[in-house]
Structure 1
């Protein structure tokens, strides 16, 4: 028997329930993993309230990331063996597979060897954040030397990953945060500039930093009324990528400004990279190289125990963390 977490209706953290289930043997092309750590993502809180990119089928589990030890493999699984330390790459619907459990089943394509230099806690934190940022900044925007890149919600796990990847690519990073409280931490992690959006005029500050030329890339998880202003900060033929909808308000775009500068607004999620075998392979190699070189580093805000999952979700929704929240088993 294995404990896992399900919820029978949408709602606050209180809807999460522990259940005991018998985890079946893995089917063809599946892997069974004894979980050691779980990476927590904002997407899972949105899933819990049934306000995500696909509707929830109840009763539902949740969870995109995990690290652990393989304890069984299904027919036709190659390159993965019992006893291997592995990680789960977010690349599936939570209506089909989930990671909030002591023992979980995963499709073999979502299972990757754990980087040898990382602990289970660190490994559970890296794939959603780095592959999401890699897909947007490297695959799509092709960020490079001389580019100005604006990163709103920079202290989130994906925000910090974006800072590191943009720096790794040679760009000039501009981290956005509401107040100056996290300025020192962001600068220490490599942000070239930090803008506290509640303390200064964003448009004027970006103009000062870029010498009036604007930024080539915006990578935004928030949307809402600020998104239009972010798009207007773009330089000629710049690109704004939106990968979340954390704001409950309407997201608009400045159409005339976009036409005059021939800018692009594009939606993004990790599946574009992780859902394609060849792109996933290149992304994993890129992240592994960055980790091995020290250019990419997991940033863990806080760890919790599995029994504390309701508290985990309440903490997640306070939006105060700097980096990734990880649950250990």
Structure 2
């Protein structure tokens, strides 16, 4: 049996329960891992609350799509992995099929990346979702190029910080957007060329000012909602407004008509566009690994929680106070 986080009803962090569950045996193409650390993501909070892009098909439901651990057993037909090997789990599956908020969990082999000895479990659980998301959106989808300007909202989140680092490594100029001035200095220290405080400044106006009226080649937005109409004003002609989150929880209009039908590309994106495509995942993993080796990329971990305090971890995630990643460590 393994201590496993499940929710038996939708709701806030208080619905998360620690149950003793038999993880079972890995089937064809699956691997049983011992989980050492778990990356906590906004997608899991939304899934728990019944507000994610997919609903739980049945209750109780499991949670979690990002972790680091060690291979225990291989299912039939799994090659390239072996028991005792350190690995990271990347979000390449539905939480209706698998969940890694547990002491031991079964995951598809295609969702595992070997974890080198130089990468500890906390780092291995904290870097992949943010950097795969940032790389996929910036390099694979929008084709961000040296000299471009990239605007990143919710910049103090794990994905936001990874986006700042990735834009800089691609040779672009990252502009961070944050709600209050409290995190501005830390965002500058993380590589933002400029910080726009949305609670005090006109974001689009400031971006246009900073770019000499041209606007940004790409705006990467985690908030969505009615604000996208104004945010779209900050996009250069032919540029892209990419929505990779919906933190506002409000309906999101299409901004093109209200703005007079500019040359604007609007697109949604999730990391699974990368992780469920073997070729894209191979390229992305190689890029992120090279960034980790040369120091351009790193885990920015705000706070650690033990598995037994998973509800507290989700409350902290929901608070919006974090700067970087929330990670849960697994110890019995």
Question: Which TM class, normalised by the smaller chain length?
Answer: over 0.9
Choose 194-203 or 312-321, whichever is displaced more. Answer: 194-203
SS of the residue corresponding to residue 279 of structure 1 reads helix
2: distance between equivalents of 1:183 and 1:13?
Answer: 29
TM-score (norm 2): 0.97
Aligned residues of 1:43 and 1:52 also touching (Cα < 8 A): yes
- The equivalent of 2:31 in structure 1 is 31
Pair 1:314-2:315 in alignment: yes
- The equivalent of 1:179 in structure 2 is 180
SS of the residue corresponding to residue 101 of structure 1 reads coil
Pair 1:153-2:154 in alignment: yes
- The equivalent of 1:116 in structure 2 is 117
SS of the residue corresponding to residue 288 of structure 2 reads helix
Aligned residues of 2:146 and 2:170 also touching (Cα < 8 A): yes
1:90, CA displacement in angstroms?
A: 0.3
1: distance between equivalents of 2:277 and 2:198?
Answer: 37
2: distance between equivalents of 1:169 and 1:139?
Answer: 12
1:250, CA displacement in angstroms?
A: 2.0
1:296, CA displacement in angstroms?
A: 0.9
- The equivalent of 2:66 in structure 1 is 65
SS of the residue corresponding to residue 213 of structure 2 reads coil
2: distance between equivalents of 1:294 and 1:114?
Answer: 17
Residue-by-residue CA offset, 1:31-86 (whole Å, 9 max, x unaligned):
11111100000100000011111111211000011101111111111010000000
1:249, CA displacement in angstroms?
A: 1.9
Counterparts of 1:100-249 in structure 2 under 5 Å?
100-249=101-250
Residue-by-residue CA offset, 1:238-294 (whole Å, 9 max, x unaligned):
101101111122212332466653110001001111001111111111100111111
Aligned residues of 2:256 and 2:262 also touching (Cα < 8 A): no
- The equivalent of 1:81 in structure 2 is 82
1: distance between equivalents of 2:172 and 2:134?
Answer: 14
Aligned residues of 2:205 and 2:234 also touching (Cα < 8 A): no
2: distance between equivalents of 1:115 and 1:171?
Answer: 29
1:118, CA displacement in angstroms?
A: 1.8
Stretches of structure 1 that go unaligned for 5 or more consecutive residues are none
1:23, CA displacement in angstroms?
A: 2.0
Compute the RMSD of aligned alpha carbons. Answer: 1.1
Aligned residues of 2:122 and 2:327 also touching (Cα < 8 A): yes
Choose 242-251 or 90-99, whichever is displaced more. Answer: 242-251
SS of the residue corresponding to residue 62 of structure 2 reads coil
Pair 1:253-2:254 in alignment: yes
SS of the residue corresponding to residue 245 of structure 1 reads coil
Aligned residues of 1:149 and 1:172 also touching (Cα < 8 A): yes
1: distance between equivalents of 2:238 and 2:262?
Answer: 6
SS of the residue corresponding to residue 311 of structure 2 reads helix
> How many residues get paired?
329
1: distance between equivalents of 2:275 and 2:180?
Answer: 34
1:230, CA displacement in angstroms?
A: 1.0
SS of the residue corresponding to residue 127 of structure 2 reads helix
Cα distance 1:325–1:280, how it changes in 2: closer, same or farther (>3 A)?
same
- The equivalent of 1:7 in structure 2 is 7
- The equivalent of 2:283 in structure 1 is 282
Residue-by-residue CA offset, 1:124-149 (whole Å, 9 max, x unaligned):
00111111111111101111111110
2: distance between equivalents of 1:87 and 1:95?
Answer: 20
Residue-by-residue CA offset, 1:143-184 (whole Å, 9 max, x unaligned):
111111000000000000110100000001100001111111
Runs of 4+ residues deviating >4 angstroms: 257-260
2: distance between equivalents of 1:26 and 1:207?
Answer: 53
Stretches of structure 2 that go unaligned for 5 or more consecutive residues are none
Aligned residues of 1:231 and 1:253 also touching (Cα < 8 A): no
